[in-house]
Amino acid sequence: MKRKLPPLAAIRAFESAARLGSFTDAAIELNVTQSAISHQVKRLEELIGRDLFLRSPRGIELTAIGQTYRRELTELLDRLDHCTERLVQHDFQEVLRIRATPAFTTRWLLPRMRTFSAEYPDLDYDVTIGFPPTDFSQNDVDIYIHWGTEPVEGACVEPFFQTAASPVASKSFLRNAPALRRPQDLLKVPLLFERVDDGWAEWFKTCGITLPASQRGPRFAHCDLAYIAAEAGHGVALAYLALIEREIADGRLVRLFNHETTPSVIYSLAYRESDASSPKIRGFCDWIHRECVPAVPNQLQLIKA
């Protein structure tokens, strides 16, 4: 059966303008003139017989059918780009591109990846470091270790990593610090704070203590820097316990009290909906869920935007 496909130039012009919300930005992305973008979009609208954009002096806005078409085309173009890149790279060797936060990558993922390679010897992996937001628009990642459980448009989100947090410090710090026998004793020593999602106030609340607004201590951009500072003896960090199991086991960090925050999901797997049945995506997801058992209860469900 002969396919009735619209011109690729018109498809690319529309998808770029729809994704960027601007004919001008689409022209820059595709290295053509703004009038060329406008002409190609009009050509596509005439072929379909429907308006894809509402045009006004303020700019352009997608119609309802334009929004639907844009989502489907972005997914198709991403898959086309992904398939082509996969053929070009590594002499046709399958590669799984993973992006995760520094703490998860160095403290949890990489120490376990040998077991993944043993299960999937024909699948290479490419690991990069990244922070929120989860963004598939550059098509340089197959699967994100996604922070939290927030939905992502066009992606599946699978919660998999749940943990509580509790104070930890190095042995060298504890040798020189005042005795830390009760939670309130922590107010006498440097606390290591995180700039985002710091949980100290929540932890002190579980102990029946209000953290003073005047409490001093160094601040770090993310948790891994706080953990490194704690290992170096700079103070006490509030650490996600499931991330520092090895550090506690080998004595680099010491857990100070049994009090801990309420367990919460701090990481999910995120991948494109179009890749939900991909063998390499499904293989990685199944493997990581097995590695986390029994970290996350079975009732946690797949999340879609």
Would 88 be classed as within a structural domain? no
**Whether residue 151 is found in the same domain as residue 297:** yes
Q: What would the mean pLDDT of 13-34 be, rounded to a whole number?
A: 92
Would you state the pLDDT for residue 298? 41
Would you state the pLDDT for residue 158? 95
| Total number of domains in the chain | 3
Percentage of residues in the chain with pLDDT exceeding 70?
92
**Residue 138 identity (one-letter amino acid):** Q
The answer to whether 15 and 154 are in contact (CB under 8 A) is no
Would you state the pLDDT for residue 147? 93
Residue 287 reports pLDDT greater than 80: yes
Would 82 be classed as within a structural domain? no
Range of the domain at 39: 8-77
Would 141 be classed as within a structural domain? yes
Residue 192 reports pLDDT greater than 70: yes
The answer to whether 191 and 248 are in contact (CB under 8 A) is no
Band (297; pLDDT cuts 50, 70, 90): very low
The rounded distance, in Å, linking the Cα atoms of 62 and 16 is 12
107-141 pLDDT per residue, tens: 999 999 999 999 999 899 999 999 889 999 888 99
Q: What would the mean pLDDT of 160-183 be, rounded to a whole number?
A: 95
140-165 pLDDT per residue, tens: 999 999 999 999 999 999 999 999 99
First to last CA, the chain: 35
For 3, the 3-state DSSP assignment is coil
Mean pLDDT score of the chain, rounded to an integer? 89
**Whether residue 174 is found in the same domain as residue 104:** no
The rounded distance, in Å, linking the Cα atoms of 68 and 70 is 5
The answer to whether 206 and 260 are in contact (CB under 8 A) is yes
The answer to whether 179 and 185 are in contact (CB under 8 A) is yes
What would the two tokens of residue 118 be?
Answer: 């043993």
The rounded distance, in Å, linking the Cα atoms of 47 and 6 is 8
Q: What is the chain's percent helix, strand, coil content, to nearest 5?
A: 45, 20, 35
**Whether residue 152 is found in the same domain as residue 268:** yes
Q: DSSP letters along 42-59, please?
A: HHHHHHHTS--EEEETTE
Residue 59 reports pLDDT greater than 90: no
Would you state the pLDDT for residue 303? 63
Would you state the pLDDT for residue 209? 96
Of the ranges 1-5, 18-22, 86-90, 204-208, which one carries the lowest mean pLDDT score? 86-90
The rounded distance, in Å, linking the Cα atoms of 24 and 85 is 27
Would you state the pLDDT for residue 87? 62
Question: Dihedral of CA 180/186/189/195: which sign?
Answer: positive
Question: Domain of 123: which CATH number?
Answer: 3.40.190.10
